[in-house]
Structure formats: structure tokens, C-alpha cells
Amino acid sequence: MTDTIFALSSGSPPAAIAVVRLSGPHAAAALSALAGSLPEPRRASYRTLRVPRGTVLDRALVLWFPGPRTATGEDLAELHLHGGRAVVTAVETALSDLPGMRRAQPGEFTRRAFANGQIDLSEAEGLADLLSAETELQRRSAIAMAGGVFSEHVEDWRGRVLTSSAAVEAVLDFGDEDDVSDLPPDFAQRIGALADELSDWLSRPRAEALREGYRVVLAGPPNAGKSTLFNALVEDEAAITAPLAGTTRDVLTRAVAIEGVPFLFADTAGLRDETTDVIEAIGIDRARAALDRADLVLWLGAEGDGPDGGWEIAAQVDRSNAAGKVAPRHAVSAVTGEGLDALRRDLVETARRAMPRPGDAALNARQHGLLAEAEISLRAGLAERDPLLVAECLRRVRVSFDALIGRATTEDMLDTLFGRFCIGK
């Protein structure tokens, strides 16, 4: 990487302070050009920033971090400016006019940190989740992943597999090549224990539940009170409510946090077997599809007609003509508020059990798939008698572990990951 990148790393102006970061081999020259000279490393210095022909840009704090012990592994500088738009624009324009300087692409600072070995791929994914975290559960899980909790486990697993691979290679070099009987007596026990550890990780709640929210779908026939209850749960008049059957024509979703737990509530079209309205029929089909994707269904229809595992909800209990239920999980009125607090508490407790515990690292789909491949290969190795095949199974395990932390990956996957970051990160 011969070019040096720069970008605004703080929030959009206007603001009290704007932080512009520089990273790359020309960072020292660029900082010297604007600040007059390099400050003492890793100490804030108050400088007057000027363009090369002498015009004052700003009076700012500047910091100089010589590589490789920096966030990106390269020479790094920061300009802590006054946060007005004109100030930021003037400084960015001055930087772009300097040799070897260009504006950073989204996620490019973090990508350079990964390329220079400052973080691994799992830590980068955790950082991406941290930047998008909106609830306390999301933040704490992302902090764990970005802090290397999962990476430490992968490195430990990889070391143990390398030790086992060395034992197999010794048999191939010096033992009876037709049998694994010359392996250490505890070889199978160690491989089995590692496979069990991976299985425990695979059984944990997934990161998608945190990122997307616990998906709760309200379902039932027309005029069952779904939209009114939906509005009450999301605390917004998001859905149109009316006494006319078929008012809801599509799946309406709203993401909210209740007691720090992320939810995705979905209001659906009223379910009925026949309709002459083509648009309503499409809405009913989408409602049925939403039921299939739900983590939980709140069923407001006739008792016993809902999907397996759904909660029976007796809605509209404030109405004298409301259809009752013999054993509803909750009886509520979205109009008077009766039963809503109990329903929310139950939802929160249920969602928490389905989500990673606070501070636990949670696997995303990519990590889960690779860890599953590693477990399958380990158990396949346990079933083999030919040491050549055992060695191949252990090699596949190492390949999966390497992909988990980014020792082996593809540019397309990296482009997708770092594209999630903002410019300046």
C-alpha cells in the first residue's frame, strides 16, 4: 500500500470537534506540511494548520502515531479540528492536494488493520456489529467478538489440532501406515473433546437474533385486533386501524427495543380461506410466509387454530362482544392497556432466553457454517482407521479455522464485510 488515506472519523459536522485521520506512508509528510513539523509521538500538540502557501486552516490538536504500533499497523495521524463544515472541507481539500494522499473508502482503515495483522477477521466482524449496535445486548456481544474472545478460542482449537496432526504425521512417517493404533492412547479422546466443544458453540444462540431482533408476528383473522395491538407494542401509530375487514394488506414490520432487547414486530393481513380481492390475497400469502419466518407468533384467532408453539392471545378484552379463550397465555386490551405490561415482560424473558447471554460472543452465519464444517471433519476423523484419511480430516479442520480468523479468505467476502463500515473507520 503506497498511498495514504484520510477521512473524517467523527460525526458529520457541524459539531464541537471533528477528527480527521490519516494512515499510510505519507502521513508524516502530510502532517508536517500542515502543522509545520512532526509533534512528539503519541502526545497531543496544539498547532496552527496552514496550507503550504501559508493560509491558516485552523488551530487544532494534532497527534502523531508512528507505525507499526498503531490501529492500522501503518503511520497514523489525527487532526482534532473545530467541527464546522467549512473547516473540515478546507482541511480535506488541503490534504487531497498533497502528494500521495487520497480520500478513504468505507471501512478502509479497518481493512488496513486486518491486512497488517492488527486484527483478525472475526474481530473485524465484531467491530462492524459494534458500529451498528443499537441495544445493550448487541453492544455487549459485539464488544466480546471485537475484543477477540472468539478468536482466542479458535487459536486454541487450531493449536490442539496441529498437535494432533503432528501425531498422525509421526505414524505416517515411522509407524504402520495401515492403522492408527500407534497414535497416542488419548488421541481419540482429545479429538472427541474438541468436537464436543465445537458442538457446544454451535448450539449457542446466533448473532442474527441480536442483529435483526427477535421476530414476533401478530396473526389471526381479519378484525381480530392485530394492528391495534401491534401499534401498542411498538408504541407508535405505525399500522392503519379500521373496522373494515382487510385493512392490512401487507406485512408491516417495526424494530423496537424493550428493556434493551431488540425485537422485530410484524403486523400481517387477516387470514381467511377465501377472498375476491386480489391484493388482499397477496397479503394473505405474505402473512403465511411471515409465520414461517417467525421466532414467535402471537395468535389472535380462534383458540387452537394458530401455529404450533404460538401464544394464544385473547385480544380486545375491553369489548363486551369479544370472543373469549379458555386458556390464553395473555388477555389484553390495546385500548385500555390491560395485560400489556405482562405481555411485554413475557416477551422480554422469552427473547432473552433465545439470544446470546450478555457479553457472550455470538456466531454469525459465516462463522457458524465454518465451525460446523470443522466439527463434521473432526468426527469424520474419529471414524477413520486409515491415518492418511485421519490426516486429511484434520487438514480440513485447520482450513475451516484459518477461514474463521481470516488466514484464508476471498476478496469478495472482504469487500462485503468492510463495505458495512462507514468512511473514516
Q: What pTM, to 2 d.p., does this model score?
A: 0.69
Residue 409 clears pLDDT 70, i.e. is over it? no
Which residues on adjacent β-strands are paired with residue 263?
214, 256
Q: List pLDDT tens digits, range 57-95.
A: 999 999 999 999 999 999 999 999 999 999 999 999 999
Q: List pLDDT tens digits, range 277-319.
A: 666 667 777 888 888 889 999 999 899 998 999 999 999 888 8
Phi (first) and psi of residue 225, to 5 degrees: 95, 15
Count of C-beta atoms within a 10 Å radius of residue 406: 21
Q: Is 367 in contact with 206 (CB distance < 8 Å)?
A: no
Residue range 146-154: mean pLDDT, rounded: 92
The C-alpha cell at 282 is 397477496
Q: List pLDDT tens digits, range 346-398.
A: 999 999 888 888 778 889 889 999 999 999 999 999 999 888 999 999 999 99
Q: List pLDDT tens digits, range 38-50.
A: 999 999 999 999 9
The pairing of beta strand 252-258 with beta strand 311-314: unpaired
Predicted local confidence at residue 181, as pLDDT: 61
| Those residues with Cβ within 8 angstroms of residue 352's Cβ, 6 or more apart along the chain or in another chain | 261
Helix, coil or strand: residue 382: helix
Residue 345 clears pLDDT 90, i.e. is over it? yes
Taking all residues of the chain, what is their mean pLDDT, rounded to a whole number? 87
CA-wise closest residue to 373 among 209, 202, 162, 120? 202
Which residues on adjacent β-strands are paired with residue 7?
21
Q: Please state, in angstroms and rounded to a whole number, the distance separating the CA atoms of residues 154 and 148.
A: 10
Q: Please state, in angstroms and rounded to a whole number, the distance separating the CA atoms of residues 161 and 394.
A: 7
Long-range Cβ contact pairs of 400-405 (< 8 A, separation 24 or more): 400/370, 400/371, 400/373, 400/374, 401/154, 401/157, 401/158, 401/161, 401/370, 401/374, 402/158, 403/370, 404/121, 404/122, 404/154, 404/367, 404/370, 404/371, 405/120, 405/121, 405/122, 405/151, 405/154, 405/155
The C-alpha cell at 340 is 400489556
Q: Is 90 in contact with 65 (CB distance < 8 Å)?
A: no
Q: Please state, in angstroms and rounded to a whole number, the distance separating the CA atoms of residues 18 and 60.
A: 10
In this prediction, what percent of the chain has a pLDDT beyond 70?
A: 88
Q: Is 225 in contact with 334 (CB distance < 8 Å)?
A: yes
CA-wise closest residue to 249 among 275, 204, 282, 218? 282
